[in-house]
Structure 1
Amino acid sequence: MKTEQVGDATFETWTPEEVFDACRKGEIVVIDVRTPQEYMFEHVEGALLMPMPFFKPEMLPGQTEKRIVLHCGSGVRSEKMARLAMERGLNRIAHMEGGFGAWKEKKLPYIGTDMASGAPKRVEP
């Protein structure tokens, strides 16, 4: 994990593997900032959705028990929203480097769509 101090805030960049491990241990809340369509097609299992156009840092859950890690398709939108959250007063926020594209590159499991039925299905590459 890379850490950057921005004023009084800590900005973290996590790898997909770090996010996966922390998810399995129940240590983080993953928030997807992609569009609802992107999320419905495929997403990190257990990730919550807060699309970028509707992103409100003040609506994020507290981080007393679990840390927040944002993600998007490539890491660009999640970094932008994480920096916005810091501007709005969050003193610690993280995003996933490379986004969902990097997650899939690392062959980590996710929820996809069964093209025959349109139903969600777990994908284990």
Structure 2
Amino acid sequence: MKTETIGTATFETWTVAETADAFARDEIVLIDVRTPQEYMFEHIEGALLMPLSFFKAGKLPGQSDKRIVFHCGSGVRSERVCRAAIEAGITQIAHMEGGFAAWKAAQQPYIGTNMATGAPQRAPA
């Protein structure tokens, strides 16, 4: 994990492996900041959706029980969300490096769309 200090805040960049392990142990809340269309086409099962275009840092829950880790398609939007959260006064926040593309490249499970039927399906198959 990479850590950056911004004022009094800590901004963490987690690897796919760190994110997957913590998510499997129910230690984090994983929030997808991609568009609803991207999420519907394929997403990490159990990840919540909070699109960047609707992001309001003040509406985030506290992190006393579980940490929040954001992800997007490549890591660009999730980093932007984290920096906005820090500007809004959140003192500890994280995102997943490489985003959903890195998650898929690491062969982590996700829900995709069966192109023949349009139905959701678990991947990798």
Common topology (TM > 0.5): yes
- Pair 1:9 & 2:9 matched: yes
Mapped partners of 1:30, 1:78: distance in 2: 11
Q: Deviations for 1:49-105, whole angstroms, at most 9, x for unmatched residues?
A: 000110011111210010000000000000001000000010100000000011111
Q: CA deviation at 1:116?
A: 2.4
- Pair 1:66 & 2:66 matched: yes
TM-align CA RMSD:
0.9
**Alignment-derived partner of residue 122 in structure 2:** 122
Mapped partners of 2:18, 2:119: distance in 1: 28
Query: TM-score with structure 1 length normalisation?
Result: 0.96
Query: TM-score with structure 2 length normalisation?
Result: 0.96
Q: Which amino acid aligns with 1:35?
A: T
**Alignment-derived partner of residue 85 in structure 2:** 85
Q: Which amino acid aligns with 1:28?
A: I
Gaps of 5+ in 1: none
Gaps of 5+ in 2: none
Mapped partners of 2:8, 2:86: distance in 1: 9
Mapped partners of 2:112, 2:60: distance in 1: 25
Mapped partners of 2:37, 2:15: distance in 1: 24
Q: CA deviation at 1:122?
A: 1.2
**Alignment-derived partner of residue 108 in structure 2:** 108
Q: Which amino acid aligns with 2:53?
A: P
Q: CA deviation at 1:117?
A: 2.3
- Pair 1:56 & 2:59 matched: no
**Alignment-derived partner of residue 20 in structure 2:** 20
